[in-house]
Amino acid sequence: MKARRALLYVPGSDLHKIEKAVRLDVDGIILDLEDGVSANRKDEARQIIAGALTTLDFGRSERIVRINPFYTGRAEADLAAVLPAGPETIIVPKVDSPSILHRVDEILDQAESTARRAKNSIEVIALIESAKAFVELKEICQASIRLKGLILGAEDLTADAGMTRTPVGTELLYARSMLALYAAAYDLQAIDMVQTNFNDVERLTAEARQAAELGYAGKQVIHPAQIAPVQKVFTPDEAAIERAKRIIAGAEEAAAGGRGAFSLDGEMVDLPVIKRAQSILTRARAAGILD
């Protein structure tokens, strides 16, 4: 599992920002061809992204490209331009049916075979951002073995579904919970919505914490100032890791003694508690703070 605590959008047309992004120690960098790029610079952005992927050292940051939606007629040429430069992951926007991911699979299969890359090594993350996408979510989750994550596209969803976008986001609660639940059911990572106000760290942190509580693995970010606070929220803290280790050790001891449930610090520990502890350790390992 890759750590995807914070995924930073960078407009693919902006080489200065891309050069900055690779030095920010962020889990993932999303080189954007879609909404972050003006219509008259989209062709140029393809070349800038391909160049950046070939020449820049991204360090530990995942190299991700967000292409344009297929209905625009641009997606195929986006992929043709960037795939030879070797991105690790493709974000597909406006995924509202499994057929879109089937089409992506065909193109990625071809690219891998041409580049002699391992089959299915290029990963895919789907942006879920329309009412129809939520109705089709089960089929979308099962559409491709490349699919590793679902992103909540809150701005597009509220526009599509006729919701009023409020600062608190109560209108999004159902969709936001549903996405996390489906992601868990199909072993995918759920990635939370963007907080567009990049000066309000308090609001960002509260929103990220709520997402983590709902089961999200990370959050989309748009500004360098958002990276550290968001990555912190999605990293298990030392106390949680220590407790998880004790739960696992206790569970092994209990199992050896033929017991299922046991007590730790005056609280009952049984299978769901053990599972949560395992997931904390998995996330800590992915974040590189536990071997």
Residues interacting with ligand COA, by CB under 6 A?
Answer: 8-11, 16-17, 20-21, 32, 35-36, 194, 222-224
Residue 270 is encoded by which pair of tokens?
């049984």
Least CB distance to Mg ion at residue 127 (A): 7
Residue 34 or 136: the one with the smaller Cβ distance to Mg ion is: 34
Least CB distance to ligand COA at residue 7 (A): 10
Binding string, residues 153-172; x marks residues near Mg ion by CB under 5 A = ---x----------------
Site for Mg ion in 28-87 (CB under 5 A): 35
Residues 6+ apart with CB under 8 A from 73: none
Residue 21 or 137: the one with the smaller Cβ distance to ligand COA is: 21
222 binds, among ligand COA, Mg ion, none (CB under 5 to 8 A by kind): ligand COA
> Following DSSP, what letter does each residue of the chain receive, concatenated?
----SEEEEEETT-HHHHHHHTTS--SEEEEESSTTS-GGGHHHHHHHHHHHHHHS--TTSEEEEE---GGGT-HHHHHHHHGGG--SEEEE-S--SHHHHHHHHHHHHHHHHHHTPPTT-SEEEEEE-SHHHHHTHHHHHTS-TTEEEEEE-HHHHHHHHT----SS-GGGHHHHHHHHHHHHHTT-EEEEPP---TT-HHHHHHHHHHHHHHT--EEEE-SGGGHHHHHHHTSPPHHHHHHHHHHHHHHHHHHHTT-S-EEETTEEE-HHHHHHHHHHHHHHHHTTS--
223 binds, among Mg ion, ligand COA, none (CB under 5 to 8 A by kind): ligand COA
Residue 109 or 155: the one with the smaller Cβ distance to ligand COA is: 155
Rg (CA), the chain: 20
Residue with smallest beta-carbon separation from ligand COA: 36
Amino acid symbol at 16: H
Residue 78 is encoded by which pair of tokens?
């986006």
Least CB distance to ligand COA at residue 290 (A): 29
Least CB distance to ligand COA at residue 64 (A): 12
Amino acid symbol at 259: R
Least CB distance to Mg ion at residue 100 (A): 15
50 binds, among Mg ion, ligand COA, none (CB under 5 to 8 A by kind): none
218 binds, among ligand COA, Mg ion, none (CB under 5 to 8 A by kind): none
Least CB distance to Mg ion at residue 90 (A): 15
Residue 20 or 203: the one with the smaller Cβ distance to ligand COA is: 20
191 binds, among ligand COA, Mg ion, none (CB under 5 to 8 A by kind): none
Residue 21 or 141: the one with the smaller Cβ distance to ligand COA is: 21
Residue 146 or 219: the one with the smaller Cβ distance to ligand COA is: 219
Q: Where do contacts with Mg ion occur on this chain (CB under 5 A)? A: 35, 156
